[in-house]
Amino acid sequence: MIFNQYFYHPDLSSSVATLSTEESEHCCRALRHKVGDQVLLTDGKGCAATAVIMVDNPKACMVEIQEVQEKNDRHKWHLHLAIAPTKNIDRIEWLVEKCVEMGIERITFIHCDNSERPRINLDRMNRIAVSALKQCQTTWLPAMEFVPFKEFLEKTATWNADRYMAWCDDQNTRQFALESFQHEDIILLIGPEGDFSPAEVQLAREQGYAEVKLGNRRLRTETAGLYGCLTIATKSLE
Amino acid sequence: MIFNQYFYHPDLSSSVATLSTEESEHCCRALRHKVGDQVLLTDGKGCAATAVIMVDNPKACMVEIQEVQEKNDRHKWHLHLAIAPTKNIDRIEWLVEKCVEMGIERITFIHCDNSERPRINLDRMNRIAVSALKQCQTTWLPAMEFVPFKEFLEKTATWNADRYMAWCDDQNTRQFALESFQHEDIILLIGPEGDFSPAEVQLAREQGYAEVKLGNRRLRTETAGLYGCLTIATKSLE
């Protein structure tokens, strides 16, 4: 239903907004919205708004923002997923789409000693996230970044969060899905195909990361990421 | 690690086995195994075996089966996912791969009133399932089939199972993830993009299917399938 279609505009504070080229295209060309049509916007920060199209230009659609609503579709627990991008980028793009559908707070792509991918196209990742946001009508767009593993540990060292590291060690029997959380924010580290290096594991341990298993099977990196995301989503229902 | 690589052979009961062309290719050409190499086999029915290559023919690799082991990597709860294939087949292929990684008992592709895809290539689905099986070193290959919705309800009517239908009704607050199960077997129905028709919903209700939500967001069909699969996997840990 067209009326249920969200369009993304990061700022809903002003009374008039001009949608991005991409959103204007989608709104005025693909969905053929015309002047006077009412549409729904989200800022990706938890708010949705009704708006009326003033200029139906497919390159720069202008809308008048009417009622802005705070939608509460954030989970009780906020997952900050720190994951090493897979060699095959499709798998990470897929993960981003699914994480947005399921609901996630932040995604940090970490560059690890065993990473096979030196860089990632964050613009493309954001486009994928936005289209998933619109598709599943949620209002929460996760912040995304790409930083070296060590830097990530440093910048998050002072955060009030529960810290976990998915670590494929047969001795380890602690299950992430059975944890009870102490903080609202949960950081989950997931390593590259070649797993974390011993030095990285040591570093994380020193930062108070608890080693957990994601079930009892060997999961691909992106499946592990989704496992973490879905675990938080279902635990938030309890 | 090559030694951890599984090869698929549906029957481990005889002492000598000839791998399929596909498996022989993978074993003798891709991984360059030679006569005398020890390899691991799984029958996809919960068993794994060590075997030694007798003939390293990349079209017909012959192995001598040694020790057969019953692996217990089946979940406590057995999910039978009955899902309408998506219009975009990639999404269902992806779902099959993920379900095998997570562990699932059966997948039935149901043809519904609002289905946009009249048929599905089960051979291809099985190949995807087998490669996922090998990839994540599990020994459970889900049975897959494609049947009309009504026929599915009829053939499963006598099963001892908990029955659920994922149904996008805002009135419905019952969460699948919070259910406590009565039977080992769980049937979960997931409809097509256009959802179940009122007649199908009515039919399922008469068969004792309980309507449940999969979280509080609108999920794509394949994401809903994975949500169900992952919920069963984590509930099996409790």
The predicted-structure confidence for A94-116, as pLDDT tens digits, reads as follows 999 999 999 999 999 999 999 98
Q: How far apart are CA A214 and CA A164, in angstroms?
A: 11
Q: Is the pLDDT of residue B202 over 60?
A: yes
CA dist A102 and A100 (Å) reads: 5
Stated length of chain A: 238
How does pLDDT run across A16-32, given as a tens digit for each residue?
999 999 999 999 999 99
Taking only the tens place, the pLDDT of each residue in B119-143 is: 899 999 999 999 999 988 889 999 9
Q: Does pLDDT of B147 surpass 70?
A: yes
Q: Partners of A109 in the beta sheet?
A: A83, A146
pLDDT tens figures, A34-43 = 999 999 999 9
pLDDT at A124 over 60: yes
Residue B117, pLDDT score = 85
Task: Mark yes or no for CB contact A237/B138 under 8 Å.
Answer: no
Distance from CA of B154 to the nearest CA of A (A): 32
Inform me whether the C-beta atom of residue A170 falls under 8 Å from chain B C-beta atoms. Answer: no
**Tens digits of per-residue pLDDT, A51-81?**
999 999 999 999 999 999 998 788 999 999 9
Asked if A175 reaches chain B (Cβ–Cβ under 8 Å), the answer is yes
Provide the pairing of β-strand B16-18 with A185-190.
Answer: unpaired
What is the per-residue pLDDT for B3?
A: 55
Residue B169: what pLDDT? 73
**Residue A103: closest C-alpha in chain B:** B217
> What pLDDT sits at residue A113?
95
| Cβ contact, residue pair B226, A138, below 8 Å | no
Which of B42, B230, B231 is best to mutate for the A interface (most A CBs within 10 A)? B230
Residue among A73, A178, A231 whose CB faces B217 most closely: A73
When pLDDT is cut at 50, 70 and 90, the band that residue A1 belongs to is: very low
- Cβ neighbours of B103 in A, within 8 Å: 215, 217
- What pTM, to 2 d.p., does this model score? 0.90
Q: Which amino acid is at A37?
A: D
Mean of pLDDT values over A184-202: 94
Q: Is residue B166 scored above 60 in pLDDT? A: yes
Query: Would you state the pLDDT for residue B2?
Result: 43
- Record the tokens describing residue B69, joined without a space: 């082991």
Note which residues in 64-103 of chain B have CB less than 8 A from chain A.
73, 94, 98, 101-103
What pLDDT sits at residue A159? 94
- What's the 3-state SS for B57-105? CCCCCEEEEEEEEECCCCCCCEEEEEECCCCCHHHHHHHHHHHHHHCCC
Q: Confidence band (pLDDT; 50, 70, 90) for A3?
A: low
Q: What is the pLDDT of residue A2?
A: 43
Of A138, A220, A237, the CB nearest to B178: A237
CA distance readout (Å), B20 to A141, B10, B11, B61, B62: 47, 10, 11, 8, 10
Query: What are the C-alpha distances in Å from B130 to residues A54, A137, A216, A229, B8?
Result: 54, 35, 19, 26, 7
Per-residue pLDDT at B74 exceeds 60: yes
What are the Cα distances from residue B233, in Å, to A153, A178, A214, B75? 30, 12, 10, 7
List CB contacts (< 8 A) between A215 and chain B. 102-103, 233-234, 237
Residue B216's pLDDT is: 86
Please tell me the predicted confidence (pLDDT) of residue A137.
84
User: Does A7 score more than 60 pLDDT?
Assistant: yes
Mean pLDDT over the full length of chain A: 93
- Token duo for residue B166: 């994922």
Looking at the complex, report in whole angstroms how far the Cα of residue A168 sits from the nearest Cα belonging to chain B: 13
Q: How far is A102 from chain B (nearest CA, A)?
A: 7
- CB contacts, 8 Å: B224 with chain A: none
As a whole number of angstroms, the distance between CA B48 and CA B102 comes to: 18
Give the Cα separation of B143 and B156 in Å (integer): 14
What is the share, in percent, of chain B residues with pLDDT greater than 90?
A: 85
| B131: chain A residues, CB-CB within 8 Å | none
Would you state the structure tokens that stand for residue B191, as one six-digit string? 């409809």
Work out the minimum CA distance from B75 to partner chain A, whole angstroms. Answer: 10
Q: What is the pLDDT of residue A194?
A: 87
